[in-house]
Structure 1
């Protein structure tokens, strides 16, 4: 491996931090299946502390570089820092930016460093619950940098593509759709395990309705709505347990609010969970009342687990895998309607594994299959990447 031509081609992913979010999990799902003798992933993170996936990245031979965000460092310092990393640690075959509206600046830094492939990737359908006129004007400016400095635009779904790049780019088929693929083998294996054993592992009660949610504790996930649903189930004297997995800046506030509502014994805050397929095995229904989303990977994972899902209609219809498990509902429908739909969904008959596998694969959510498409975007041959 001393000869430069024998070294793996390196791709640099730029992320806010490699914690267990949908985009980050999608990257890792494909990274694990990459032939790392030929292609290696590195990461720029805007978080100085160690993130959930950082140890695994390093164990797989990747590198994690810390760069302060634009908000912390300022635009010129941000560009300078990324350019220096690219020059000092390259060469890089591609730079793949996942930071939504800031991706254009990452692409500019990569262009200045001479990186041939520069990808801007959209993972969201909005970036603020109530954007102002100034926010909209800023987005148009951000798009100019994306269009001018990238060599390819990518999105996890059509709605995410329209949000970040505009309807015109979508109509011209100028955006590559790369769904957030998952490792289907892990879900098939988890679906064969004992549900009772998995409940015991996570400390989840038996003989109750288990309402599950996985998501970071940020405003967009709308956790207060979940707490109010729990209040309604308790008032109705329905035996239940709400299980919330994830971490984030609002977690402590939600824990305190749950205590104030007298829900200490009804809601289980698990924090970050590594084995999502095993956790999903314990749920009876998955609930996601988000204010906005891109195309949340966790909903694909829930359906891969055969779970009925009740979600807000702010979440794109593209999350429906066509296997009869997804119910979209307006947040304005009222808590009574939500509790009714959750109770009804929990009685849904689980589809067979072959139906689950077929539904997800047909819609492009098999991580192994998506790896070849990703290598095409990087202008790396399939033989090199797998």
Structure 2
């Protein structure tokens, strides 16, 4: 047992910003179960402003360092800034970079700083909706950098691994698959909540079909699709309310477009919501029409809540947790088919919590169990970290 005379081993996570995105929430789910007497997480963020999880990180003894992104600082300055933090604030046992195609530069900086374990992590299956030839060539260059300077590769799923590291690495099983685990205890507790009471708490209407969506307001999430779908629903006799939870750079634009389409009473913008398990209990169906994704944590959370999920076919089949809750549709199939599938989904019988827990645990989505695998990647024993 650490009596205070032994310093904890430190791991530095490199992220765009610790807001409530899927990758960031996945990290926090494991961080909360880490024995911080022996292992401590620090973070490099590309956002100068305080992000959603920053206060909790600091409360738990972690540190958040600001480093401007490559686009703002330039490539050489970016590498130097990370290297300097590793040297001045370390020593670090491992660096874990979550910035997809930029992770190779972080791995290079960590190698220059003498960090022994350098993990590059893929959280997406694409990085642009319609990549050009130049984008593809850039990706190949970035991939070479990642493979040259990392000591370990990690991905949230098979498709995400193929995208960033290449099919050859996946065939050789050289990539650690670390599913976006969640805290199952929180979803078990939420399962017993009163749906009507939680609806009142969030200001969600009764006696109407609630279509839920949780996600940052970025282009890949395809919020405009849901606005036009709402316009279509208004022409039917189906009483509905769409609930958006999340924030992001495009939120104001989406709110203005909703108002211009006359949807003020039909769409509720909640902003950042801390208690996602409780919010999920207010939804009748979860809809996610993304243009591309990795393996979105929110879809794991939705299925952990027993929610039927209607998603775009751009989202990997790996998101189906075997509970019969997920249906993938093409974005070009027409709103009529989306309406039919949603109407059918809300009539589905909710699986039991025992079935949900068994399915998620069997498929590797328990954050507590995943922590041991993460520590192994860092060459830190489970006894040290828990």
| TM class by smaller structure | over 0.9
Distance 1:173 1:47 in 2: 34
Q: Which residue of 2 aligns with 1:106?
A: 106
Residues 2 and 37, structure 2, Cα contact 8 Å, conserved in 1: no
Q: Which residue of 2 aligns with 1:333?
A: 333
Q: Which residue of 1 aligns with 2:171?
A: 171
Change (3 A) 1:271 1:115: same
Distance 1:349 1:180 in 2: 26
Q: Which residue of 2 aligns with 1:202?
A: 202
Give the TM-score of the pair, scaled to structure 1. 0.99
- Per-residue CA deviations over 1:116-158 (Å, capped at 9, x if unaligned) read 0000000000000010111111111101110110000000000
Q: Which residue of 2 aligns with 1:296?
A: 296
Give 1:231 deviation, angstroms: 1.1
Q: Which residue of 2 aligns with 1:116?
A: 116
After the TM superposition, which residues 200-239 of structure 1 pair with which residues of structure 2 at under 5 Å, given as runs?
200-239=200-239
Q: Which residue of 1 aligns with 2:384?
A: 384
Give the TM-score of the pair, scaled to structure 2. 0.99
- Per-residue CA deviations over 1:221-245 (Å, capped at 9, x if unaligned) read 0101101111111110311100001
Distance 1:231 1:250 in 2: 20
Residues 2 and 38, structure 2, Cα contact 8 Å, conserved in 1: no
Give 1:309 deviation, angstroms: 0.3
Q: CA RMSD in A?
A: 1.2
Q: SS of the counterpart of 1:107? A: helix
- Per-residue CA deviations over 1:30-72 (Å, capped at 9, x if unaligned) read 0000000000000000000000000000000000000000010
Give 1:82 deviation, angstroms: 0.4
Distance 1:119 1:4 in 2: 28
- Per-residue CA deviations over 1:336-365 (Å, capped at 9, x if unaligned) read 100111111111100000000011111100
Q: Which residue of 1 aligns with 2:51?
A: 51
Distance 2:4 2:185 in 1: 36
Change (3 A) 1:238 1:38: same
Q: Which runs of 4+ in 1 moved over 4 A?
A: 1-5
After the TM superposition, which residues 1-386 of structure 1 pair with which residues of structure 2 at under 5 Å, given as runs?
6-386=6-386
Residues 13 and 98, structure 2, Cα contact 8 Å, conserved in 1: yes
Q: SS of the counterpart of 1:371? A: helix
Distance 2:65 2:334 in 1: 46
Q: SS of the counterpart of 2:32? A: helix
Q: SS of the counterpart of 2:332? A: helix
Q: SS of the counterpart of 1:279? A: helix
